[in-house]
Amino acid sequence: MIKDKAKELVPPGARSWLRQQQKGWKVWPPVGTVKFGSLGRVKPISREFGFDRGHCIDRFYIEDFLSSHASDIKGRVLEIADTEYTTQFGGDRVTQSDVLHVKSTPRATIVADLTNADDVPSNSFDCMIVTQTLQFIYDLRAAIATIHRLLKPDGVLLTTFPGISQISRVDMDQWGEYWRFTTMSAQRLFAEHFSAEGVTVRAYGNVFAAIALLHGLAQEDIEVDKLKPHDPDYEVLITVRAVKQAS
């Protein structure tokens, strides 16, 4: 009876408006009430991945991954472009540190293309650190085959690449930027050369981390603890630890 009485008192137009409002009240925050604040812009805050503001968001995850596998960084270690992570996480366990770059640079001890590094002997390295590199290589399978060949038996690859990320314009123009990955694609790609049992894939990220990274915010801009929760539907960074079987 109360419902019928209310219908008599409320005009049809108002009843329709109330029904629409109730739909919005079923979710939280209610539809139309979300405030974007400083992020409500169509241009990013930084196009430099936050490097011009401080420490990049995805470096938080890269360094967590390498720290958790620091014991693998030992013996003769090859890193791409420089020795930053070899030095930071390898310490006294490293007996020889090499740097591979596709072009001759002051830091490069080996100049080679990962898709065709025939001049580099097989079974050379105990560990290879390949961070944020594979997205720039079109022939991924050839690069992974080369990495597998260069590792010693029981050698370990530690590699990272983007899942959710902006384009690196400088690298896109210089080398080309071809790929974004998921944990599923990474598992299948690396299992083609390393045994499935020897490949461990992990993703890092959540929706907050994705938004912060895409806007080019730095770690100094945010509450870093918000990067720690993992949401499997927001794979910001993909990591792979792959071991070359001794046999």
Kindly state whether residues 62 and 169 are assigned to the same domain.
Answer: yes
CATH code of the domain containing 55? 3.40.50.150
> Residue 27 belongs to what domain range?
1-33
Kindly state whether residues 16 and 55 are assigned to the same domain.
Answer: no
How many other CB atoms sit within 10 Å of the CB of residue 13?
A: 8
How many angstroms from the chain centroid is the CA of residue 117?
25
Kindly state whether residues 22 and 63 are assigned to the same domain.
Answer: no
Kindly state whether residues 159 and 46 are assigned to the same domain.
Answer: yes
pLDDT tens for 147-194 read 999 999 999 999 999 999 999 999 999 999 999 999 999 999 999 999
* Number of independent structural domains in the chain: 2
pLDDT of residue 133: 97
pLDDT in tens, the chain (247 residues): 555 555 566 676 666 655 665 655 578 889 899 999 999 999 999 999 999 999 999 999 999 999 999 999 999 999 999 999 999 999 999 999 999 999 999 999 999 999 999 999 999 999 999 999 999 999 999 999 999 999 999 999 999 999 999 999 999 999 999 999 999 999 999 999 999 999 999 999 999 999 999 999 999 999 999 999 999 999 999 999 999 998 7
Kindly state whether residues 200 and 145 are assigned to the same domain.
Answer: yes
Contact residues for 134 (Cβ-Cβ < 8 A; gap 6+)? 140, 143, 144, 159, 161, 179
Kindly state whether residues 159 and 64 are assigned to the same domain.
Answer: yes
**Location of structure tokens 């960084």:** 73
Kindly state whether residues 10 and 121 are assigned to the same domain.
Answer: no
Kindly state whether residues 149 and 200 are assigned to the same domain.
Answer: yes
Exposure letters 183-207 (e unless 16+ CB within 10 A, then b):
beebeebbeebbeeebbebbbbbbe
Kindly state whether residues 198 and 218 are assigned to the same domain.
Answer: yes
- Angle formed by the axes of helices 183-191 and 140-150, nearest 10°: 60
Token pair for 9: 């008192």
Kindly state whether residues 228 and 153 are assigned to the same domain.
Answer: yes
pLDDT tens for 20-40 read 656 555 788 898 999 999 999
Token pair for 152: 């010693």
Kindly state whether residues 134 and 215 are assigned to the same domain.
Answer: yes
Kindly state whether residues 149 and 221 are assigned to the same domain.
Answer: yes
